[in-house]
Amino acid sequence: MADDNHETVPTPATLAQVEAAFKALTGKELKVIDRVGQTLAWPGGSAGLGWTFEDLRQEAQTRTLEGTRRWYPGEVDFVRHLAGAMRSIASEWRRRGRRWPRQLGDSMDADTDAGAQARGLRDESLSAEEAMIRREAASAELKRLRALFADDEGVSYILMGIEDNLGRAEIMKASDMTLKEYDAARNRLTRATARSKQAGGRT
């Protein structure tokens, strides 16, 4: 009997497809990747817990080529895949308080805790003190952005709305912003975030 509810299983890209996708990245796509990576960079300050866009880019590419972070071409385009990979790596490093030294496990299944444990990597989960440092760093960055944009109504609404768990449409509606105004405010915020990191400032 035919299964009407048959779902197609997503197929991960082959190594050849991944390599071809890297080579085929256009100038615009490379600029998008740069922008995403600059946004996610984290200076880390004196605690030495930071990473650069280059760290994120290299790690995302390596995991994709090694297949520990798989790309499903039928599900998501390649640039979005790379952005998602950098996003989850940055989040993982923030959660662990620092990035894993790659030399400890060159082909590690770094997207999973199980993979790290299987390779005997030390547990870099945040201690209570490190978690506090991280929370303070996040607070400091938000405080800096709020101060920087105190006179910018659009950006202030975005910051406030995200804090209140609102989606984009809700923020726009509640603040009477058009899509164009919202995008412009978000771009100002993006520029401010990246600038502080390039200058090596504490975020």
Partner 1 sequence: MNRKRDPDEHLEALYDELIEGALSADEATLDAMLRAEGRDPTEVVAGLRVAFDTTSRNVRTRRLREAKAQHGRSVSRLREHQQALPASPEARRGLLDRTLRRSAEAREALTLQHRDFRQMTDEDVTGLLAQLAALGALPPDEDPEGSGGER
Residue type, 79: V
**CA separation for the pair 192, 195 (Å, rounded):** 5
Give residue for tokens 């993979």.
115
Determine which residue in the list 104, 118, 138, 150 makes contact with partner 1, applying CB under 8 A: 138
Q: DSSP letter string over 44-56?
A: -GGGT--B-HHHH
CB count within 10 Å of CB 37 equals 24
CB of 101 to partner 1, least distance (A): 16
**CA separation for the pair 119, 107 (Å, rounded):** 10
Q: By CB under 8 A, tell whether 191 contacts partner 1.
A: yes
Query: Cα–Cα–Cα angle for 193, 55, 65, nearest 5°?
Result: 125
**CA separation for the pair 167, 174 (Å, rounded):** 11
CB of 138 to partner 1, least distance (A): 4
CB of 78 to partner 1, least distance (A): 12
Site string for partner 1, 15-54 (x = CB under 8 A): ----x--x--x-xx-xxxxxxx--xx-------------x
Determine which residue in the list 165, 176, 178, 180 makes contact with partner 1, applying CB under 8 A: 165
- Site residues for partner 1 per CB under 8 A: 19, 22, 25, 27-28, 30-36, 39-40, 54, 57-58, 61-62, 65-66, 79-80, 83, 87, 90-91, 94, 106-107, 134-135, 138-139, 141-142, 158-159, 162-166, 168, 183, 186-187, 189-191, 193-195, 198
